[in-house]
Structure 1
Amino acid sequence: MKSILLKLLFFFFIASQIQAQELLPFVENYNKSDYQGDNQIWNVAQGKDDAMYFANNHYLLRYDGVIWEKYTLPNKTIIRSIMIEGDKIYSGSYKEFGYWYRKDGKMHYVSITKNLRLFDEKDNEEIWKIFKFNGSIYFQSFNDVFIYDGKHIEKIKFPFLISYCFVVDNDLYVASVEKGLFKMNGSEISNPKGWNVLKKTVVHAIEKFQNKTYIFTQKKGIFIVEKGGLKPWNNPLNETLKAATINVAKFIKGNKLVIGTGNRGLFIYDFPTNTYKNIDRNNVLMNNSILSIGFDKENDLWLGLDNGIAHVEVNSPISFFYDNSGLLGSVYSVATTNKGYLIASNHGVFEFDSGKFHMMPNTQGQAWNITKINDKYIIGHNDGTFCYDNGALVKTNNVSGGWNLSKSIISNTYFQSTYSGVLVYDDISKLTQTKKIEDLSKPIKYVAQNKNNEIWAADNYRGLYRVLYDDNFKTKKVENITQQSKINNDFGVKIFEFRNEILFLINNSWYTYNSITNKLEENELFNLNFKDITDVVAIDDDHFMVLQNGILYHIQALGNKFVWNIIQEKYYKGKLINDNLRIFKTNNHYLLNLDDGFISLQLKYENKQNSDVKVEAFNDDNLVSDESTIKYNTELRVNVISGIYGASKPNLFYKLNNNKDFIQISDGLIVLNNLSSGSHSMIIYKHNGASYEKVSEFEFNVAKPWYFSIWMVILYILVIGAILFFYYKWNKLRYIQKLKLQAEELKHQREILEMELKAENELNVQEYEKHILELELQTKSSEVAGKSLSIAKQSEMIENIQGILDSEKDFNKLKSEIRKAIKINEVNKHEWVIFETNLNQIHNEFIINLSKKFPNLTPKDIKLCVYLKMNLSSKEIAPMMNISFRGVELHRYRLRKKLNLSQEENLSKFLLSL
């Protein structure tokens, strides 16, 4: 009973010392969509070329940090095991083993067992493990071991089913499933004394550490080899491991033990501190079943999971606090306490102790900042300010939004920036006694002081203020310095205290205050060393952090020189809270807040970026060597391989053809398209934030396009020559044809000229005849006019005779007078015929048109129309038609009807218009 009690007390003591640490190493998970392979990863190893190789069921996977490659065996069987030996990657599969080698950017397989009858037909032999022992390569199945010395293969068959073989120092152990663990001496085997506890259990690993041999069983936990037998590992973790099912175990640098389990993920046990970390699906691992463990040259872990791959940076200077529960929310500030951590988040203030979160009472809501002063923690909150002291939380004031609490450089006074201005703590031990800076009632984000009765305050939105006050903190003057300095873009001003000097980061430029000009002036030292900085956080007099182009750098100041240490973006990409980065310094670490937790960075962290960079370029999936030529208008994929997967992975940039701009290399891959023909030069640089250092160079040529090749140029010359020849022939033919055409044209012109002359002569004749006709027409017109006169005279004669008849009564005398008048005015009948003929010739066209338009007109009507067109009066027309004046008027009336003229229309004008 006493012995049992002592054991319980001892167990309690050990349990009180061991704890599950909350800070975990960074883990990168790779699933099937990343490597495009199968589920299980049976084996992991790093090659001499720094690439990681994986046995992934039907595939051999290769990952160089840039691209994933996968290969299958010629017989398409499952690959269960791999081992690296020099430039060869040995692999074992179903009734097959051989090795892979890399050439021209691809893996090639050579079978060792081809055409050899090594395997029994009845056995389903698979090579589950490959190891080196006494200069030979051992390929182990569940039934046999094949020993390959480079030329010959020796087969050893065991009388029992083998689980695994293990090499410890110069000894080879063989573990059976039922009969325990055996030691081999040549071809003989023996069961060590006192090891019967291993019977009917599966041994998954045997490792030696600090001169002790540890045996890892699947379900019975861990045993240590001692004289005379085995002793269970006396550690509370051993009981946990029994239930977790051990699959694989390794000792690693730094006195640590890593154990992969079947259902509890990975355990990392630290011997010096007697603590462990459990990485599983509850925090960052995507699968709880660990099938294999491998290492890289940084001594970080590569886990082969039941469903994917995980890279665990166990030796990284960076650790993480993850909150997958979502209870915390976004972390705005964190501080260490003697119990654990005090965390300010957008959900409230939390205390973390013994692996559990606890929200402090009455703190629900946005908490902004935690500042440790002596043993107290001052917490700025949306609802006011709280003080945390040894587990107790007290609210000290109700002023909303304590963003930052800063100490004066010249005194023990503290200034707190809030939503409504600046609070002053003249005695920080009396937190309830505060004063407020008057005339500055606006949201202030940052406050600093390096001169008595003067503070600097940066508005949360825009503007920088210089506030002068008296000894009782009564405001004397408030100046908007950015306005006075004519700085237009003064949004988000940041105040940075460096070695008792206050600097201002405004729109990516650094300023200091000139008290003589009362204006801001650019700071030469910081503008020279820290360009394009978007955020800065002070740590102490010689250390601070900056955010440049989305990447964090830890800066150490050595005099006027600055040492830059990059913190890789993968650790916090998409997790930084803009303009609210805060750093808490502990004895050994910096704590940086993130969206889903925080980062712990070692104080002595120094990122010596790897400079050994290899370039592999591929064109149409073919490896392109340096200074070789690729096809025109094809894609060139350049893999920039550093061989580093952890914290010291370099930050790489490149320049193409001496371009002015440095282009960042994303994930080690450069894709080039639309390259011009000719030579090209690519220079690779690593960047530490301050300077660029050349680490590699790659030159290549782009061939001329096919249409500028030599044969095409010759073809072009021939085609151009043929075109010129045919052009010459065609021009010559055209010239001959032109001469013929000119001759024809001259002949034709001569004919035309002759025809024109003939036509001109005929025209002259016609003109002459026309002139003659016009003369005849004029003559006839004269005759018509004369005849008209004659007719008029006859009319006059008739009137005279009528007068004689009326006046003379003497018949003889009357007779004599009448004869006399008739004789005088006698009209020749032939003259009337000539008159009418001439009249018709003169007005022939008028008569034709009139007859066509009015076919019902009689010749007498037409004759009247002609007289009317000649503008003769009715009195003049009557004798010419041998009718009376009244007869003419009656005839005109009838004619108007035939012509369909209204009463208002003039008959003569109508006839003239025809």
Structure 2
Amino acid sequence: MPRFLLLIILFVVFHFWQQPAWAQSPYAGLPMTHHFSSETYQGGIQNWQMAQDSLGILYIANNFGLLQYDGTNWRLHIVPNGTKVRSLALGDEGKIYLGCQGDFGYFSPNAQGHLVFTSLADDLPPEHRNFDETWRVYVEDNKVYFCTFQTLFIYEEGEFTIINPDYSLEPAFMVNGTLYVRADDHGLCRVVDQQLELVPQGEFFRNYSVSGVLSLPGNDLLVAAQGSGLFNQETGVFQPWSDAMQEFLNTAIINCMIRLRDGRIALGTQTQGVLILSPQGELLLHLTKDRGLENRTVLSLYQDHLENLWIGMNNGLSYVELGSPFSVIDEKMGLPGTGYAALLHQEKLYLGTNNGLFVGNPAPLSGLQYELVPGTRGQAYHISVQDEELLLGHHQGGYRIANGIAEQISEVSGGWVFQQMPTAANTMIGGTYSGLVR
């Protein structure tokens, strides 16, 4: 039975199988990623806000309408005026609230179980009916918040409360039951008693565009500023959250931010794909176009009930198996070829393929990158520790690996396996193409 490169990870997981992927073993590979093109789901290329119901059905705001995915089949529900759907949230009685271009309302099932759209914007007073995009929808405490660039519409029991400031608004964020929104020329605000008020020190964001708001332990705010990185309010004053990441985040341009269920923070960026940070701001995982994703521009993020991270991209949709104990080590991490051997030795992971013996070394922003051990190019069959020495069985013979360099100790071709003789401490038996040698 052929052994493909993917099977290498089974050796690694044997050591760490009880740890889910989120434990982020330093030897983990990249999580498994699945991509859906617009041709697959028969919708628009861009995907925005997402939500999953209690039955596991995923709903996605899409340029062509509302996408529905049951794990096997895709369905597209088109809003009657054919507008783009930018946002959504799930409500009671099967209602799916939508934010669209110049409209908002909800889909709900009719007597036959088919989803039918009802516009709520048509119930607005005429002076408020003309608006542009509804970029966010939230359901909180029996209220539905429809958030546009000009106005916040709060819908409760068939009535609207309208917050209509004389300045423009950015997309809003719901944090622990409070709606936060950046207001032009003012800064970061929140809704209190159906009115907008500046948060303490919120004027800090007067000249920043805010692309995400979360709460940190202790209820301190973490704010993503598009093109300017992350800021927190730990001491009452907003300041850069992670000095080590700030410069990189400035150029990556954060488009969206969510908290994962295990406390980690996921960032979707304009130029650098997805970043997973620890609650302390340490980079744990970086996924981009050459590391598992089909596109480096991320528009939205959502974590489903199975811990998968769904990624709405500028062209298509993907999900990453963050909850899986399996990960993949392949050419995206510098490891070419078909896998034959794996060994964890002195806190280094060695992997043997038909291209040679490779060892994982830390690399900035990308975790481990695998590099060829000099002198081992070609078919590697076996690696083991014998008498405290690291030995490699290779097509060219046997090698001792020391200080990152291979020294040939046998020229007999085809080193399949090594075994120390139990009755002779200084004698080693090796299996080769031509039989046993010592």
TM-score, with length taken from structure 2: 0.84
Q: CA deviation at 1:70?
A: 1.0
Q: Is the 8 A contact 2:31 2:320 kept in 1?
A: yes
Aligned CA distance change for structure 1 residues 354 and 144 (closer, same or farther; 3 Å): same
Residue aligning to 2:395: 382
Equivalent of 2:325 in 308, 313, 317: 317
Query: Is the aligned partner of 1:334 residue 2:342?
Result: yes
Larger Rg: 1
Residue aligning to 1:136: 143
Query: Structure 2 vs 1, CA of residues 65 and 381 (structure 1 numbering), >3 Å: closer, same or farther?
Result: same
In structure 1, how many angstroms separate the alpha carbons of the residues matched to 2:74 and 2:356? Answer: 43
Deviation at residue 68 of structure 1 after TM alignment:
1.0
Moved more, 110-119 or 63-72: 110-119
Q: Quick one: distance in 2 between partners of 1:259 and 1:154?
A: 32
CA distance in 1, matches of 2:105, 2:134: 11
Distance 1:188 1:116, change over 3 A: closer
| Alignment partner of 1:150 is 2:157 | yes
- Give the alignment of 1:449-460 within 5 angstroms: none
Report the secondary structure of 1:197's partner residue: helix
Q: Is the 8 A contact 1:371 1:405 kept in 2?
A: yes
Structure 2 spans left out of the alignment, 5+ residues: 1-24, 364-368
Q: Does structure 1 residue 182 correspond to structure 2 residue 189?
A: yes
Which of 1 and 2 has higher RCO (CA within 8 Å, sep 6+)?
2
Q: 2:189·2:202 contact (CA, 8 Å) conserved in 1? A: no
Task: Give 3-state SS (helix, strand or coil) of 2:400's partner.
Answer: strand
Matched, 1:42 2:37: no
> Are 1:209 and 2:216 an aligned pair?
yes
Whole-angstrom CA distance in 1 between matches of 2:66 and 2:297:
20
Match of 1:266 in 2: 274
For the pair 1:354 / 2:362, whether they are aligned, the reply is: yes
Of 66, 69, 73, 1:63 maps to 69
Distance change >3 Å, CA 241–CA 272, structure 1 → 2: closer
Change over 3 Å in CA distance of 1:296–1:228 after alignment to 2: closer
Inter-partner Cα distance in structure 1 for 2:103 and 2:198: 30
Q: Name the counterpart of 1:815.
A: none
Deviation at 1:272, TM superposition (A): 7.2
The answer for the alignment partner of 2:290 in structure 1 is 282
Q: Rate the CA distance shift 1:60–1:285 in 2: closer, same or farther, 3 A.
A: same
Question: Which residue pairs with 1:80 in the alignment?
Answer: 86
Is residue 133 of structure 2 the alignment partner of residue 91 of structure 1? Answer: no
> CA offsets per residue over residues 337-379 of structure 1, 9 Å max, x none?
4464322221222233123443233322211122234643221
Q: Does 1:294 align with 2:302?
A: yes
Question: Does the 8 Å CA contact 2:131/2:148 hold for their aligned counterparts?
Answer: no
How far off is 1:74 after superposition? 1.0
AA of the residue aligned to 1:26 = M
Q: How many residues matched? A: 406
**CA offset at residue 114 of structure 1?**
3.7
Q: Deviations over 1:223-254 (max 9, x none)?
A: 11134421210331222111100111112133
Q: Which amino acid counterpart does residue 86 of structure 2 have in structure 1? A: R
Taking the TM superposition and a 5 Å limit, the aligned residue runs for 1:583-622 are none
Change (3 A) 1:137 1:397: same
Cα gap change, 1:146/1:188 in structure 2, threshold over 3 Å: closer, same or farther? Answer: closer
Q: 1:54 touches 1:62 (CA, 8 Å); kept in 2?
A: yes
Contact 2:168 2:183 (8 Å CA) reproduced = yes
- 1:162 partner SS: coil
For residue 255 of structure 1, the aligned residue among 257, 263, 266 is 263
Q: Aligned partners of 2:222 and 2:295: how far apart in 1?
A: 26
| Aligned position for 2:254 | 246
Distance in 2 (alpha carbons) for counterparts of 1:160 and 1:194: 19
Contact 1:99 1:111 in 2 (8 A): yes
Q: By percentage of residues, which structure has more strand?
A: 2
Is the alpha carbon distance of 1:20 and 1:181 closer, same or farther for their aligned partners in structure 2, counting shifts above 3 Å? Answer: farther
Q: Does 1:419 align with 2:433?
A: yes
Cα deviations across residues 775-832 of structure 1 (Å, max 9, x unaligned)? Answer: xxxxxxxxxxxxxxxxxxxxxxxxxxxxxxxxxxxxxxxxxxxxxxxxxxxxxxxxxx
**Contact map agreement 1:20 1:277 (CA 8 A) in 2:** no
SS in 1 for 2:89: strand
Of 240, 263, 280 in structure 2, the residue corresponding to residue 232 of structure 1 is 240
Q: Is the 8 A contact 1:340 1:354 kept in 2?
A: no
Distance 1:120 1:148, change over 3 A: closer
8 Å contact 1:52–1:63 — kept in the other structure? yes
TM-score w.r.t. the length of structure 1 is: 0.42
The one-letter code matched in structure 2 to 1:322 is: D
Query: 1:403 offset after TM fit, Å?
Result: 2.2
- CA drift of 1:178 comes to 3.8
User: Which residue matches 1:484?
Assistant: none
- Contact 1:27 1:313 (8 Å CA) reproduced: yes
Question: How far apart are the structure 2 equivalents of 1:34 and 1:44?
Answer: 18
Deviates more, 1:373-382 or 1:320-329: 320-329
Contiguous gaps of at least 5 residues in structure 1: 1-18, 424-433, 435-914
| Whole-Å separation in 2 of the counterparts to 1:90 and 1:310 | 23
Q: CA deviation at 1:106?
A: 4.0
CA distance in 1, matches of 2:172, 2:68: 26
Matched position secondary structure for 1:362: coil
* Residue 140 of structure 2 is aligned to residue 126 of structure 1: no
Q: CA contact under 8 A between 2:375 and 2:406: conserved in structure 1?
A: no
**Paired residues of 2:383 and 2:390 also in contact (CA < 8 A):** yes
> Does the 8 Å contact 2:356/2:379 carry over to 1?
yes
Change beyond 3 A, Cα 1:132–1:304:
same
Deviation string, structure 1 residues 81-121 (Cα, Å, up to 9, x no partner): 01112422111112221222346564332322346555646
1:33 and 2:46 matched:
no
* Cα distance in structure 2, aligned partners of 1:390 and 1:199: 55
For residues 21 and 255 of structure 1, what CA distance do their matches in structure 2 show?
21
Q: What secondary structure, in the 3-state scheme, does the structure 1 residue paired with 2:47 have?
A: coil
**1:371 counterpart letter in structure 2:** S
SS in 1 for 2:329: strand
For residues 193 and 151 of structure 1, do their structure 2 counterparts lie closer, same or farther at Cα, with a shift above 3 Å needed? closer
Q: Quick one: distance in 1 between partners of 2:177 and 2:421?
A: 66
Aligned partners of 1:361 and 1:227: how far apart in 2? 51
Q: Is 1:172 equivalent to 2:185 in the alignment?
A: no
Aligned amino acid, residue 370 of structure 1: I
